[in-house]
Amino acid sequence: MCIGSILVRKKMIERAKGPGQHKKPKSSILSLLQSIFAIIGVISTIFICMIVALMAISPSNFQDVLVQLYPLDTQEPQVVVVTATHPLATTTPTPPPATSTPVPKPPSGEWMVRAYNTDDVNVLVVNGHIVGASNVQDSLKDTGLININPYLQVGDSNYVTFVNVNGPRGGVWGFTLHHDGAIVWGNEGRTEQPNTIGYYKTIQIFSDNTVMELPPSDPQGEHLQGQWSARVSAADLGLIFINGVPVAGGYQGVNTGWFDTSNYLFSGIDNEVTAMVWNFDGEYSWDMAIQVGEMIVWGSSNQGTEQVGEVFHTSFIIDSNGNVIP
């Protein structure tokens, strides 16, 4: 189309001259200028035709992006043509799955304890507190089943201690631990040793509802200096624990004397002492003491009436130097 336009233009120039018109000679400079203008005209016409042809192409069909890359091993640029019809997708990193921390929980189901076959006193202790007791009197020899769920804590730190306190003559006991109606632990026995802790056993209850007997306290190790002893006079009954072990007890005002506790107090640690009193009914009283040699280093006494259950509970420390710390 563009070449045809050039030919038509040339013919029009020739017709304008006329067939018989005398041609005048032109100078060489004029001829050169005419040739330059003719070339410029031809180039302009071709450029216009190219623009028209390019405009006929829809720019929405594709997009060419020229990217110059400069590799590390050469200084010569390379041209890469990237054709993109849609925006490049962006990738959102997926976070790693969150790790869940197990939530501590108390043992599940119904937990119950029982004391029976009693002489002189059987005591049920859960996590350091008396929850029930039986004594040699006919009407109180059997506690029946006592629900201990209100005393259970979150996690595995749940301990049930069964204690027999024997008086001047022989003693007997019977204890059971129940879970959802089934006996998961039990013990019966007797002792002929007077005025002593006739029997004790601590059972640990785990959050998965399994149970385990704890071994008896190991008396090995360096003990506190001096001769340590404890005394409990209580109505209706009282106990002293040292480091989780029942070391002295008394009941119904019976004089059970001083209990040797030297093997349960250790140097190098803080020794935890817990004292507690239980009342069946009516009036109650207690008089407790701990001494080293002939010197009393701790004591507590009181009395009252009408309140039943655990009427007194306290804890304190005997440190590695034998000092009492409230």
Considering the four listed CATH numbers 2.60.60, 1.20.58, 3.40.50, 2.60.40, the one that applies to the domain covering 217-326 is: 2.60.60
Map the chain to HEC letters.
CHHHHHHHHHHHHHHHHCCCCCCCCCCHHHHHHHHHHHHHHHHHHHHHHHHHHHHCCCCCCCCEEEEEECCCCCCCCEEEEEECCCCCCCCCCCCCCCCCCCCCCCCCCCEEEEEEEEECEEEEEECCEEEEEEECCHHHCCCCCEECHHHCCCCCCEEEEEEEEECCCCEEEEEEEEECCEEEEEEEEEECCCCEEEEEEEEEECCCCCEEECCCCCCCCCECCCCEEEEEEEECEEEEEECCEEEEEEECCCCCCEEECHHHCECCCCEEEEEEEEECCCEEEEEEEEEECCEEEEEEEEEEECCCEEEEEEEEEECCCCCEEC
pLDDT given at position 41? 74
Q: Which residue has the tokens 């420390």?
A: 317
pLDDT given at position 46? 74
pLDDT given at position 35? 76
Q: What is the mean pLDDT of the chain?
A: 83
pLDDT given at position 44? 72
pLDDT given at position 217? 75
Spans of the chain, pLDDT less than 50 = 1-8, 10-26, 58-88
CA gap 126, 132 in Å, rounded: 9
**Domain residue spans in the chain?**
110-215, 217-326
pLDDT given at position 100? 67
